Chain A
Amino acid sequence: METGSLDGTGAPADQPVWRRLEPGLLRVRRLLLAVWAGVFAVAAGLLPGLFAGPAWAACALLPLVCAATCWRLLERNWRSWRYAERADDLLISRGVLWREETVVPYGRMQLVEVTSGPLERRFGLATVQLHTAAAATDATIPGLDPAEAERLRDRLTELGEARSAGL
């Protein structure tokens, strides 16, 4: 049986080599945040400002403050995401306040999916999702470089075939 240790890294098979997500993902999320915060700020400023008096236009500050907080939280969340390919399983770790760590043995994988929406493509990103026979398995890695996503997909498929175990 193939040992499946990472090629070229020289790391021992039992030491996980953690990889992080592309910075592009943070940029996309912040862009979306800015757009939505802008829309809400205009709405929150204009409507009370027009109907209740100019002083009420200060309501626009509320979405902006929220957005400023989220701006930093997004970075913490982005930093918390990491994944590692070990010899026999894939590790995904994520979350700051609500932490979650997932281990999926390669042999249990039924399907690997690579998706990329229009905005993701614009920023050169792709998402890899793993499906096992258990619906509760939530193994999604967003914000990968498309080349890395394809490499991961091919590697997972190959390892999944070698260790396939079905139900």
Chain B
Amino acid sequence: MTSRERAEGPGDGIPGRAEGTGDGTPGRGERADAGVPERGERADVGVPGRAPVIERRLHPVTPLRRAWAPLAVLAGWAVHDPNAAQEQLARLTDTMLLLGIAVLVPAAGLYGFLSWWFTHYAVTDTELRIRTGLLFRRTAHIRLERVQAVDVSRPLLARVAGVAKLRIDVVGTDDKDELAFLSEREARALRAELLARAAGFAPETAREVGEAPAHVLLRVPPRELARSLVLTGATWGSLCAALVVPTLLWLFTENVWTVLVTALPLLGTAGASSVGRFVTEFDWTVSESPDGLRIDRGLLDRAHETVPPGRVQTVRIVEPLLWRWRGWVRVELDVAGSDNSVLVPVAPRAVAEAVLARVLPGASVPAGLSPVPRRARWCVPVWWRGHRLAVTGPVFAARSGLLCRRLSLVPHAKVQSVRLTQGPWERRWGLADVHVDTGAGKTVTARLRDAGEAGRLLAEQAERSRTGRRDAPPDRWMTAR
């Protein structure tokens, strides 16, 4: 017999999303159709005395975003099996072709229209509700106080059409839970409203609060970004691999296909790690607002991310070898449920540390990191020198790596569990590892500590992570503690 019990109070814990086929709103059937305004808004007659829930539709260009999918399938099939494709094409007569188009295009159009028509979203006091599906109904209720980040992204084509995607990151959301597409103005207004509601503004005022004022903390100049990419080993490594490996293969096999099959992925990797990174990290701007951190970036596809206060689980300061003489660092962050992990692609150390102090209030990069005992060289030759550790009031900081140094900082309040592990060889030398697990699925490890020290660290860290919560800001960050 299997039984599952939730160790959480009603409506508490991570699952910030409830799914079901019905949306549970009373009076769903008696929608006030008389009040259908011009933009397809509908008012749900909810509980009397409460403001009605306004259901809205996405932007009318939405159906077009899947228009390329059938074409891509056809193209993929043609490339995969060129001979069969040619045979099939030769057998098609003009009438067949016309007939096919006459059936397929309206069918696809109808499907697109219906899927758009049956997709609604609504913002209530506590939730964002997305109702979708023609045959299989799906309703997602995303709880606003559980929001980890709000992303507005504008891919190149969407920018041309003047529309944007909005996505709320809650632990457990997937691609289906993004609102694609909204008009840009609407996306911005909706983001402001969602953040205002999530911040704990009164429901009546939440729509009028508007965008929180932001001030720019840091902007990465394109020249510095380009230089940093030139100084990255991975860029050169992938470029060299893309040039050398296919050449060698050609010399040995003289088979065009082998060369192509290996060269294309290698060239793709090289492009992604140089040009691709430049394009996505172009005009990287980090700003601060009462609603949290804003990250705006991108040359072709623009992305705007907002991370509310107290959502950052881990921050990493990465120092590649070649950047060190210029004093540059890269700052990465982990937010539960969010894809983006870069906070600052490149910045001088002092600037990056200033940004970090705003991200983790009260924390600073620890100055003195304690090294591991000398005997650790028997467990991890050479690289043992890279492992360092510091525990300060607000953070647990562990460094690793010799050439590319990574310093990971975890606020004590974000620690989910602490583990101590020790293998037989480590026991022989009286060493142990301490792992600190965070909610973003990342584990920060202080390796090769003295066994006695590790034991104390385990006990103390458990205590610190328990008490660290007391000073943490509330989930609804604009409400009083």
Residues of A within 8 A of B (CB): 88-89, 97-105, 107-116, 121, 130, 132-139, 153, 156-157, 160-161, 164-167
Are A134 and B438 in contact (CB-based, < 8 A)?
Answer: yes
Are B7 and A160 in contact (CB-based, < 8 A)?
Answer: yes
Taking A98-B422, A167-B439 as contacts, is the C-beta distance between A137 and B6 under 8 angstroms? no
B20 within 8 A of A: no
> What 9 A-B pairs have minimum CB-CB distances, sorted nearest first?
A134-B437, A133-B439, A134-B416, A103-B462, A160-B7, A137-B417, A132-B416, A101-B420, A136-B437
5 inter-chain pairs at a CB distance below 8 angstroms, sorted by A residue, are A108-B416, A133-B14, A136-B417, A136-B441, A160-B7
Closest residue of A by beta carbon distance from B422? A99
B351 to chain A, nearest CB (A): 29
Residue among A108, A109, A167 having the largest count of chain B Cβ atoms under 10 Å: A167
Contacts of B419 in A (CB 8 A): 100-103, 136-138
Chain B 441-454, CB-CB to A under 8 Å as 1, else 0, gives: 10100000000000
A10 to chain B, nearest CB (A): 22
Q: Count of B residues near A, CB < 8 Å?
A: 45
Contacts of A101 in B (CB 8 A): 419-421, 458
Give Cα A109–Cα B12 distance, bound, in whole angstroms.
Answer: 11
Closest residue of A by beta carbon distance from B145? A166
Give Cα A57–Cα B36 distance, bound, in whole angstroms.
Answer: 85
Taking A98-B423, A133-B171, A133-B416 as contacts, is the C-beta distance between A111 and B466 under 8 angstroms? no
B475's contact among A114, A130, A166, by CB below 8 Å, is which? A166
- Count of chain A to chain B residue pairs whose CB atoms are closer than 8 Å in the complex: 132
Are A160 and B424 in contact (CB-based, < 8 A)?
Answer: no
Are B417 and A104 in contact (CB-based, < 8 A)?
Answer: yes
A100's contact among B12, B420, B439, B462, by CB below 8 Å, is which? B420
Give Cα A98–Cα B146 distance, bound, in whole angstroms.
Answer: 38
B14's contact among A89, A100, A161, A166, by CB below 8 Å, is which? A166
Closest residue of A by beta carbon distance from B472? A165
Closest residue of B by beta carbon distance from A103? B462
Are A98 and B421 in contact (CB-based, < 8 A)?
Answer: yes
Q: By DSSP majority rule, is chain B's interface helix, strand, loop, or mixed? A: mixed
A134's contact among B5, B9, B417, B422, by CB below 8 Å, is which? B417
B398 to chain A, nearest CB (A): 15
Contacts of A164 in B (CB 8 A): 8-9, 12-13
Give Cα A105–Cα B421 distance, bound, in whole angstroms.
Answer: 18
B417's contact among A121, A132, A156, A160, by CB below 8 Å, is which? A132
Taking A109-B7, A156-B7 as contacts, is the C-beta distance between A103 and B416 under 8 angstroms? no
Taking A89-B462, A99-B421, A99-B422 as contacts, is the C-beta distance between A134 and B4 under 8 angstroms? no
Contacts of B437 in A (CB 8 A): 132, 134, 136-137
Closest residue of B by beta carbon distance from A132? B416
Are A166 and B420 in contact (CB-based, < 8 A)?
Answer: no
Contacts of A113 in B (CB 8 A): 3-5
A57 to chain B, nearest CB (A): 36
